[in-house]
Amino acid sequence: MRRPQLPQAFRLPPPPSLDALITGFDRGLRTVFASATSGRPHPDAGMPEPELSPDERRHAAALMRVNHTGEVCAQALYQGQMLTARDPAVRQALDQAAREETDHLAWTEARIAALGGSRSVLDPLFYLGSFALGTLSGIAGDRWNLGFLAETERQVEGHLNGHLERLPAADAKSRAVVEQMRDDEAAHAQTAIDHGGATLPAPVSAAMRLAGRVMTGATYRL
């Protein structure tokens, strides 16, 4: 008698290879503890450093710190999702998006330094939590994996639009960085949808927004 087959969404993906685990661990360490390098020119390259008041500099640096931690979370999500994705095409799309997000890490870190700020001390904690979420979304199946990615990127796009309204008007350099990041996030969301990403249930999207507010509030200060 044949054993009943579970639907694909309820089957565990094959375990990742040792090489994949080592690569993921290495990327995690570099994301949290090392300085990223950009494969593309910085969007603010060649622009003069703005004249800001001390309060404006602190505020702009805090907003860019929030954005940097958001990119740390994105790297962790992608790593967890890649480890548990079933379809090689999905893994390739996630890997490409992760490489572009590495540019964002470099851009935001450079702006934080220029503004006299520092990276968040909470980055390791948020990396671990985001990695767990990415792993779970991958286990749920590729459609939900991609749907989680698309919803994440849509919410990040909205978050970046909010930062464009809150950044000091004179800080054109930070604005250029955030605008390019926003355009990249929108493209990543569309890629996930084009690959078959499912629409997440409303309670899941609401929980993601709440988690985003917690991260934003904490890293603005720390």
Residues sharing a CB contact under 8 Å with residue 130, sequence separation 6 or more, in sequence order: 72, 73, 74, 76, 77, 80
Task: Identify the CATH number of the domain defined by range 52-221.
Answer: 1.20.1260.10
Q: What are phi and psi of 196, to 5 degrees?
A: 105, 20
Is pLDDT above 70 for 16? no
Is pLDDT above 70 for 5? no
Mean pLDDT rounded to a whole number for the chain: 85
Cα 173 to Cα 125: distance, rounded to the nearest angstrom: 29
Cα 57 to Cα 51: distance, rounded to the nearest angstrom: 9
Higher-confidence position of 214 and 85: 214
The pLDDT tens digits of the residues spanning 78-106 come to 888 888 888 888 888 888 888 888 899 99
pLDDT at position 93: 80
Q: What is the pTM of this model?
A: 0.85
Is pLDDT above 90 for 170? yes
Higher-confidence position of 142 and 24: 142
In one letter, which amino acid is 31? T
pLDDT at position 42: 95
Higher-confidence position of 212 and 17: 212
Cα 189 to Cα 112: distance, rounded to the nearest angstrom: 26
pLDDT at position 86: 80
pLDDT at position 9: 47
Contact predicate 157/189, CB 8 Å: yes
- Stretch 15-37: mean pLDDT: 67
pLDDT at position 40: 92
Is pLDDT above 90 for 192? no
Is pLDDT above 50 for 188? yes
pLDDT at position 3: 47
Overall residue count recorded for the chain in this entry? 222
Please give, one letter per residue, the 3-state secondary structure of 12-26: CCCCCCHHHHHHHHH
